[in-house]
Amino acid sequence: MKLATISTSQHKSVPALFQDGLYYPLPYPDMRAVIEAAPLRVPPNF
């Protein structure tokens, strides 16, 4: 597992965790946040 950043089409950086080929978006930009969103199968620069 590693911390990653997803660049959206609106050119915003979204903090995410990358694990097993899945990106888990973080609701908040800190590691204490609970991952609530469903995992996304997207390339690093989405």
DSSP string, 1-44: -EEEEEEPTTS-EEEEEEETTEEEE-SSSSTTS---SPPB---S
Write the CA distances from 11 to 20, 25, 31, integer angstroms.
25, 15, 22
**pLDDT of res. 36:** 46
**pLDDT of res. 30:** 47
**pLDDT of res. 2:** 66
Q: Which residues of the chain have pLDDT under 70?
A: 1-14, 26-46
Look up residue 36 and give its amino acid.
Answer: E
The whole model's pTM is what? 0.30
